[in-house]
Chains A and B, each alone.
Chain A
Amino acid sequence: MAARGHVQDPNDRRLRPIYDYLDNGNNKMAIQQADKLLKKHKDLHCAKVLKAIGLQRTGKQDEAFSLAQEVATLEPTDDNSLQALTILYREMHHPELVTKLYEAAVKKVPLSEEYHSHLFMAYARVGEYKKMQQAISAQDEKLAQTMFLPLAERMVEKMVKEEKIEAEAEVQLYFMILERLGKCVEALDVVRGPLGEKLTSELRSRENKCMMMYQRLQLWPECNALSYKLLLKNPDDWQFYLSYFDSLFHLMDKSWSQPEEGEHCVEGPVQTTVTEAVKFVVDRMEEQDKKESRPLRGPYLACLELIHRLRQRGCPDEKELGDPLELMVQFFGKFGDKPCCITDLKIYLHLLPPEQRSQFKKRLGELVPLGEAGEDGFGFPGDTKALQRHLCVCQLSRALGLQHALDTEGKLRLITELKAHYHHGLQFGKSCLKTELQFSDMYCLMAAHVYVDLWTETGDENMLWQCLGVLEEGLSFSPSNAQFKLLLLLLFCRLGAFQPVVDLYSSLDAKHVQHDTIGYLLTRYAGSLGQFAAASQSCNFSLRFFHSNQKDTSEYIIQAYKYGAFEKIPEFIAFRTRLNQSLHFAQVRTERMLLDLYTEADVTLSLEESVKAMGVCPEEDDIPWDNMRDNRDLTVLVSWDPKDRELTEEHRRLSLEEESVWLKVRSLTLRLLASLALLGHAPSPRNSDKTNENGISAKSSTLQTLLSQLDQTLETAAQITEKQTQYPFLGPPSSRLASALSSGSCITSGSFLFPHADLCPSLPSSLSPLRPEMLSRCKGEVLEMKDGRLTTRPSLLETLVFFVETVCVVLWVASYSASVLRPLKSSLQKKKKKKKDSSSAMPVVLCGFQEWTGSLQGVVTQALDHVKGQEASLTALKLAALTLEEGYSQTQVGSVQSSYLGSLQELGDLLRKRADSLKSLKI
């Protein structure tokens, strides 16, 4: 605060000592000095505010606030007061008051650029984006188009005429304004003109902006010529091959012809025929062939891209470029020893007809130098380059579907070969640091993939255990290989064993935004497998990230503005929105609350108190259903699967749809519980019956609405599960929707709660405690050992979780019923005392309820026995008898067993807690 500009103002001189005191932390003196000053100059508002700052800092918040408001109501426009109030409000954590302050100031002094700028920043801090966007640009498109942008344009135009534009940022902004106004021609003129010369800090900034405008304006000749020019400079820049081909075909479609005289276009020569394009690409390849230094991949891939495009157009000229098979073999010859060779060629494998696939593999094999075959029939590479080539052939043959075409025998032999190569290749990486990958790691991963193929095809669980074993070995040699960890993690989840997953995930060191992109790997399974504590923790990791995002982003919108990075402002706002609308964010906040209710409500706090503490409002739906963003990274697990087994856009769409519907079920369950809790205010006997009914009917109508929404959602859910969508194994996990529906969980049946909505006195009789078949669906051994082999049935755990969740819900419904019935009973007893005769209907209700809680007690006891039994038989398993020859690793088997036990313990604990609260249900 001490550094202040204009010294001429006498007020500044008067205020100076107060600033100094405040700066030095001498708040008392600051207050005294301000008082002194205010005696002489009553209207020196700023002194009041500075006094308020002193008061605020000495803990007298209320006094400070009322003093500040005295000044604020006067709507000051002097810089000193405004800045001091800004500081004060920020220290009071009331940034929203700053916006009011500057709104008023801007109204009074509409031409002050400085105040507009302060107002913008104040909006940004509070996060009032709508207003902020109105203040600067585009969201309120109409207002922006008709008012702000033209205004801004005129302002900048004036600056241009007066030659006042000096900074690059100003040119950027001018360009942005024109672009947003759709004045692309003008924007282009700016970039190409003298102002464009100022665009220097970003590499190729002018060219990129020109290209953007050419494409927008469909100036294909310019687009083509510029791409051509840029590719001559850098024949490896992929984006310009794409714009070169795009523009070429546009020009061909329009039969564009060169003007007879003069230049083709400002950017230079234009190419308009396939012949020219072919020659261009061939020339680029030859250029690389002649080069002494490392050749670039660009031209060779561009050649394949051109064939692909010509084929799409049914153009016969593709032959002039050569046979795709030969070209790909040639590419492999040049780049087969690079790990990215597979990624490059994978995109163009469809250019090979199916009958050429084996031949292609054979041709590639000829280019891989391998040593003499040993006893096992395998020849090995002599160095890492040869290894990489061999590996690439394996990857390509998988991508061509050749591995999938093998029968079980063939696949097992393939695994043996891959493992042999893996082990052989370890010798090249003996000196690798722990943080580096082994050269042969990908053989190991591929062996694991083939095991997964076998497991999913044959259902032979031994394949899964073998797969875990090979990955565990891989991790021991390459402890930081994220792909090993990710696949292990996924497999353990599929096995229903969540405990090992926790360590694996934490060793990935996933942080911040990664919680949004890969956090789903944890949160999908933790809760559904009964690891409630871990589930809660996983949700917390993510929630912490999302909540901090809300604060974090605003500050940087202001920074972007300050530093003139105007293009980043809409980008940051979009980013913030993307995080706020994240599917994962909505999931973790809903699941976290449900978890808290299931594990804690009615244990330490009542359901009602828990709901209130969480701030759940049954009427409010805070999930952006229509704009949900799926930020999950669904390709984080490496896959070399053929195209027809890869994750498609349709998979992505279906997975999001399925997750959204499941989320809706969960969120409605949560809101139903909340409305039940709030309904549960025991009717106070002092009030008349009539008001009671009215009070309840408002709330119960919310309940009704939610119930009918749940019914609708469940209908949609049933339709979705009917489709039985199968995702690629390495793609998104299925949601819990299907297993929830098949578990018979009452949570997934809206009508279960229905009879309570209108408080029908006959409720207990219409409420079957828990469908007996639900528990029977949980029966069976989750882990069995027979003839030295293990069988797991993780779905039993999931069903048990649904059962336990159902018990919780049923209990809350029951405790609500009890709260209604208790006063009924006491009033009946009073009546009984007065009159000897009473209506016979009421006691039936009461008896029914008691009967009902009795049978619920029975079911819960049975469930507890079941859990106990499971724990006992799990512990009794002699897993040490399992041998490594069968593919079992003792550590892994042990961790699966202990994870199952952990799940059972948590489920058992929760059931016991619920059994206790059941006792309090007596009426």
Chain B
Amino acid sequence: MTTLRAFTCDDLFKFNNINLDPLTETYGIPFYLQYLAHWPEYFIVAEAPGGELMGYIMGKAEGSVAREEWHGHVTALSVAPEFRRLGLAAKLMEMLEEISERKGGFFVDLFVRVSNQVAVNMYKQLGYSVYRTVIEYYSASNGEPDEDAYDMRKALSRDTERKSIIPIPHPVRPEDIE
């Protein structure tokens, strides 16, 4: 029971119930505007019948087509505590994957804190696998390195041989990822 629609600037004033979660980052305005300006179709919000925001997904398309690295990327995915366990995150991921399919992406990828087991398991259930580990990808608000990330991927239909998701055994540094 959800209204799925494009995220708009006005939603920034209403997303506290989602963003006051400790693992959900509230970015500066430019960050959101950049996504809204460049990839508006990739920014989707779910709204409850009472008008509360339930959750949202924010993503983009990037990478070189020639090198078969053109792909959808999940930048943020968050669901408010009271709307969890409804399969909403899965639904939003499915939408992002569909958009990426339409754009002819080879795969969809995302970064997740290695400690966020709940999320890692959910992504695994949705068909994602760990492609590589990125060392100290996350930093604390003081700029100090905080935590490693898993770079998780799921192949799309264009990548018939599923080449894009063959794991890289050695961890990489944030500066080495494109």
Residues of A participating in the B interface, judged by any CB pair closer than 8 Å: 200-203, 205, 208, 236-239, 294, 296-298, 301, 305, 338-340, 342-344, 346-347, 433-437, 480, 482, 508-514, 516-518, 548-549, 552-553, 555-556, 559-560, 562-563, 565, 567-568, 571-572, 574-575, 578, 631, 633, 636
A to B CB contacts below 8 Å, 24 in the list: A201-B102, A237-B3, A239-B3, A239-B5, A297-B86, A340-B86, A343-B52, A343-B82, A346-B50, A435-B116, A509-B26, A511-B26, A512-B28, A514-B16, A516-B13, A517-B16, A552-B33, A553-B33, A556-B36, A563-B37, A568-B37, A575-B9, A631-B13, A633-B14
Question: At the interface, yes or no: B77 with Cβ under 8 Å from chain A?
Answer: no
Q: Smallest distance from the beta carbon of B55 to chain A beta carbons, Å?
A: 11
Q: List B86-107 residues whose CB lies under 8 Å from chain A.
A: 86-87, 95, 98-99, 102-103
A348 to B16 alpha-carbon distance, docked (Å)? 25
Q: Which residues of B contact A436 (CB under 8 A)?
A: 118
Interface size on B, residues (CB 8 A): 55
B139 interfacial contact with A, CB 8 Å? no
Q: A203-B99, A560-B37, A572-B9 in contact; A340/B48 too (CB < 8 A)?
A: yes
- Provide the residues of chain A in CB contact with B103, threshold 8 Å: 201
Is B36 touching A435 in the complex (CB atoms < 8 A)? Answer: no
B30-68, CB < 8 A from A: 30, 33-34, 36-38, 40-41, 44, 47-50, 52, 54
* Residue numbers in B under 8 Å from A512 (CB-CB): 26-29
Whether A559 and B38, one on each chain, are in contact in the complex, defined by CB atoms closer than 8 angstroms, is: yes
The answer to whether B82 and A514 touch across the interface, beta carbons within 8 angstroms, is no
Contact of A514 among B26, B49, B87, B98 (CB under 8 A): B26
Smallest CB gap from A555: residue in B: B30
Residue B10 is within 8 A (CB to CB) of chain A in the complex: yes
Question: Which residues of chain A come closer than 8 Å to B85, judged between CB atoms?
Answer: 338-339
CA distance in complex: A518, B26 (Å) = 13
Binds A, one of B17-25, B124-132, B156-164: B17-25
Contacts of A567 in B (CB 8 A): 40
User: Contacts A513-B13, A549-B29 known; A565 to B82 CB distance under 8 Å?
Assistant: no
* A433 in contact with B115 (CB, 8 Å): yes
Interchain CA distance A333-B129 in the complex, whole Å: 36
B19 nearest CB neighbor, chain A only: A514
Instruction: Compute how far the CA of A300 lies from the CA of B53 in the bound complex, rounded to whole angstroms.
Output: 20
Shortest B69–chain A CB gap in Å is 19
Which of B6, B21, B47 meets A482, CB within 8 Å?
A: B21
Q: Does B1 contact A (CB under 8 A)?
A: yes
Those of B124-145 within 8 Å (CB) of chain A: 141
Cβ–Cβ contact A552 & B2, under 8 A: no
A565 touches B13 (CB 8 A): no
How far does the alpha carbon of A548 sit from the alpha carbon of B29 in the complex, in Å? 9
The distance from the CB of A548 to the nearest CB of chain B, in whole angstroms, is 8
Query: Does B84 count as interface, using CB distance less than 8 angstroms?
Result: yes
Is the CB–CB distance between B1 and A552 below 8 Å?
no
Task: Enumerate chain A residues within 8 angstroms of B121, measured Cβ to Cβ.
Answer: none
Q: Closest 4 A-B residue pairs measured CB to CB?
A: A556-B33, A575-B9, A482-B20, A297-B1
Decide if B4 is an interface residue (CB 8 Å cutoff): yes
Is A517 a contact of B22 with CB atoms below 8 Å? no
Q: Return the contact of A509 from the options B22, B29, B116 (Cβ within 8 A).
A: B22
Q: Which A residues are CB-close (under 8 A) to B95?
A: 203
Distance between Cα atoms of A562 and B34 in the complex (Å): 12
Instruction: Take A202-B40, A344-B49, A560-B37 as given contacts and tell me if A298 and B1 are in contact as well, using a CB distance cutoff of 8 Å.
Output: yes
Task: Verify if B83 is at the interface (C-beta below 8 Å from A).
Answer: yes
In the complex, the answer to whether B41 meets A435 with C-beta atoms within 8 Å is: no
Complex CA gap A607/B4 in Å reads 55
Q: Which residue of B lies closest to A346 (CB)?
A: B50
> B1, B34, B47, B99 — which one has the most chain A CB atoms within 10 A of its CB?
B1
**Assuming A511-B26, A549-B29, is B81 touching A339 (CB within 8 A)?**
yes
Residues B20 and A574 in contact, CB atoms below 8 Å apart: no
A567 to B17, CA, bound (A): 27
Beta-carbon contact of A480 and B13 below 8 Å: no
- B3 near A568 with CB under 8 A, answer no
Query: Could you tell me the distance between the alpha carbons of A620 and B34 in the complex, rounded to whole angstroms?
Result: 35
Complex alpha-carbon distance, A238 and B50, angstroms: 10
Cα A202 to Cα B1 with chains together (Å): 21
* Residues A636 and B17 in contact in the complex (CB < 8 Å), given A301-B1, A559-B38: yes
Say how far B140's CB is from chain A's closest CB, in angstroms: 11
- 18 extra A-B contacts, CB within 8 A, seeds A340-B48, A344-B1, A560-B37: A202-B41, A203-B4, A205-B41, A237-B4, A294-B87, A343-B52, A433-B115, A435-B116, A509-B141, A513-B26, A513-B29, A514-B19, A556-B36, A572-B9, A575-B10, A578-B9, A631-B13, A633-B14
Give the CA-CA distance A237 to B30 in the complex, in Å.
31
The residue of chain A having its C-beta at the shortest distance from the C-beta of B54 within the complex is A340
Given A346-B50, A433-B115, A633-B16, answer yes or no on A201-B41 (Cβ-Cβ < 8 Å).
yes
Residue on B nearest A511 in the bound complex, by CB? B26
User: Is B12 at the interface (CB under 8 A from chain A)?
Assistant: yes
Residues of A within 8 A of B14 (CB): 633
Q: How far is the CA of A771 from the CA of B27 in the complex (A)?
A: 50
**B82 contacts which of A340, A516, A517, A548 (Cβ < 8 Å)?**
A340
- A residues in contact with B50, CB < 8 Å: 343, 346-347
Set of chain B residues within 8 Å of A578, measured between Cβ atoms: 9-10, 13
A563 to B40, CA, bound (A): 10
Choose one: A296, A508, A571, A575; the contact of B1 (CB below 8 Å).
A296
Instruction: Report the minimum CB–CB distance from B154 to chain A (whole Å).
Output: 18
Complex: A297 Cα to B29 Cα, angstroms: 34
Give every chain A residue within 8 A of B116 (Cβ-Cβ).
435
Instruction: Check if B23 sits within 8 Å of A565, measured CB to CB.
Output: no
Contacts known (A203-B99, A516-B13); A565 close to B37, Cβ less than 8 A: yes
Closest partner residue, chain A, to B87 (CB atom): A294
B102 near A200 with CB under 8 A, answer yes
Contacts of B98 in A (CB 8 A): 203
Chain B's closest residue to A629 (CB) is: B13
Closest to B4 in A: A237
Known: A518-B16, A574-B9. A238 touches B37 (CB 8 A): no
Interface centre among A510, A513, A563 (most CB of B within 10 A): A513
| Contact B36 A565, beta carbon cutoff 8 Å | yes
Rounded to whole Å, the gap between the CB of A361 and the closest CB of chain B is: 21
Q: In the complex the two chains form, is B38's CB within 8 Å of A565's CB?
A: yes
B20: A residues at CB distance < 8 A: 482, 508, 510, 636
Q: Give bound CA distance, A301 to B3, whole Å.
A: 13
CB distance from A179 to the nearest CB of B (A): 16
